Amino acid sequence: MFQVNGMSQTPVYEQIVEQVEIFVAKGIFQSGSRIPSVRSLSVTLSINPNTIQKAYSDLTSRGILTSVPGKGIFISEGALDSVKEKGRRKVAELKSLVTELKIFGVEKKEILEIIDNEYSDEGGKLSDKM
């Protein structure tokens, strides 16, 4: 289910954070679901437990996960909302990125093509980012 790329620029713990968010956004993880324990995931991914712990803590503090010591970690009640909230912040990223593209001489037409492509078919596997 989870997969991590140790050679990626993005920190391992952040890759995990993003994957949880995506699974929540896609409805694969639903409120109340139990997610892999810190230790079990650290084994299956061959990663130090502390790294998983950091990812889960991050998600917990943002209200996406709820940890119950001794029992496990669960998807929070308002998880889907918290995740969509992150989508709002990514819009700001898009804005500044488009500004740069314009400066570097990328045509508007080319950008629109990309968007049409991503929003029509299955489009995009998050290839580079993950």
Q: Which residues bind DNA (CB under 7 A)?
A: 6, 11-14, 37-40, 47-51, 53-54, 56-57, 60, 67-73
| Three-state DSSP string of the chain | CCCCCCCCCCCHHHHHHHHHHHHHHCCCCCCCCEECCHHHHHHHCCCCHHHHHHHHHHHHHCCCEEEECCCEEEECCCHHHHHHHHHHHHHHHHHHHHHHHHHCCCCHHHHHHHHHHHHHCCCCCCCCCC
Residues 69-128 that bind a second copy (CB under 8 A): 69-71, 74, 83-84, 86-88, 90-106, 108, 110-112, 114-115, 118-119, 123-128
Contact between residue 81 and residue 37 where contact means Cβ atoms under 8 Å apart? no
Q: To the nearest whole angstrom, how small is the minimum distance from the Cβ of residue 114 to a second copy? A: 6
Measured from the CB atom, the residue of 41 and 73 that comes closer to a second copy is 73
At residue 119, what is the residue type?
Y
The listed partner (a second copy, DNA, none) that binds 72, CB under 5 to 8 Å by sort, is DNA
Residue 38 interacts with a second copy (CB under 8 A): yes or no: no
List of residues contacting a second copy (CB under 8 A): 6-9, 11, 21-22, 25-26, 58, 61, 66, 68-71, 74, 83-84, 86-88, 90-106, 108, 110-112, 114-115, 118-119, 123-129
